[in-house]
Amino acid sequence: MRFRELNKRPETSGNDSLLPLIAIVGPTAVGKTEIAIDLAERLGGEIVSADSRLFYRGMDVGTDKPSPEQRARLPHHLIDVVDPHEVWSLAVYKQAAKMAIADIHSRGKLPFLVGGAGQYVRAIIENWVVPKVKPDPGLRLLLESWAEEVHPKGLHTRLVALDPEAAEKIDYRNVRRTIRALEVIFRTGKKFSEQRVQGTALYRSLVVGLTCPRKELYARIDARIQSMMEAGLVEEVETLLTRGYTPDLPSFSAIGYREIASYVRGELSLEEAVSAMKQHTRRFVRRQANWFKLDDPGIKWFQVNTDTVTEIEGVIRGFLSSAVR
């Protein structure tokens, strides 16, 4: 899958009347948050989150949310918008993101769509038409029972057989998304991956990708997890469990929460839980690579270093100025 090349000169792309949108993408722990904030400060921008983990209130440490100090530097949108037991569908997110972007444009600011959740970024950049298949409570109950019988990984294996492209982009631990994909397939008789079609572009978009060598990225991941533990991830999970939130909630699919919940309940040692977090994060990074490919002509990639922000700023300024040539 490739991003459509919406960042060409307006006279060749036919979207010169559209307002600009900058997307900052890349794998977890590569440094998207700080780089995006630096760029937005320099260019009069505001941040719109495209990270589904950041939606949930009270889940701060394990999601590595922007700190209060970072969020005070400029407005952030679509962070802390629901409680952990609530579910935000892709369709609901898409509508909320469009509203946030319109608000930013109305005040003469530049929106930065930032996150590593490929489907959320693509849904906005490519204006996905999300499958209009109403939930089927009976079918969902059957699929939930099936998941309990064969384990989430077993259910995901069924999705692999029916729609490998969709399965490749869904974590087997995210039972809700696996069930939704199967529900759409069973209700329509068509692959889930074939039903998310691109609509007409809403924005003149520039997609910026951040990358670094895999060994360095893994070191960043290990350092982030260590920082989370020191910042009180165990206490955060204990608080969530005490408040009645359970590990089977979709919000707990954010890496770290189920692993630490297993430690809190005595099912894993702390060392085993941390090791599982590292393993699952590495697997997640490989899945992200399926959304954001280094050879994608629709993404302008930058190696993360001390000059990255200045380099990207120059590209963005050129992109913005091209609209008025």
DSSP letters of 204-217?
Answer: EEEEEEEE--HHHH
Torsional class of 306: left (φ above 0), alpha (ψ -120 to 50), beta (otherwise):
alpha
Cα–Cα dist 186/322, whole Å: 46
Phi, psi of 56 (to 5 degrees): -90, 130
pLDDT per residue as tens digits for the range 266-305:
999 999 999 999 999 999 998 888 889 999 999 999 999 9
pLDDT greater than 60 at residue 41: yes
pLDDT greater than 80 at residue 7: no
Cα–Cα dist 168/164, whole Å: 6
Torsional class of 8: left (φ above 0), alpha (ψ -120 to 50), beta (otherwise):
beta
Q: What is the pLDDT, as a whole number, of residue 47?
A: 98
**pLDDT confidence tier of residue 137, bands split at 50, 70 and 90:** confident
Q: What is the pLDDT, as a whole number, of residue 93?
A: 93
Averaged over 83-109, what is the pLDDT? Answer: 94
pLDDT greater than 80 at residue 215: yes
Taking the whole predicted model, whether its pTM rises above 0.95 is answered as no
Question: b/e for 287-304, b at 16 or more Cβ within 10 A?
Answer: ebeebbeeebebbbbbeb
3-class state of residue 198 by DSSP: strand
Q: What is the pLDDT, as a whole number, of residue 8?
A: 41
Q: Are strands 110-114 and 197-198 parallel, antiparallel or unpaired?
A: unpaired
The percent of residues in the chain predicted with pLDDT above 90, rounded, is 67
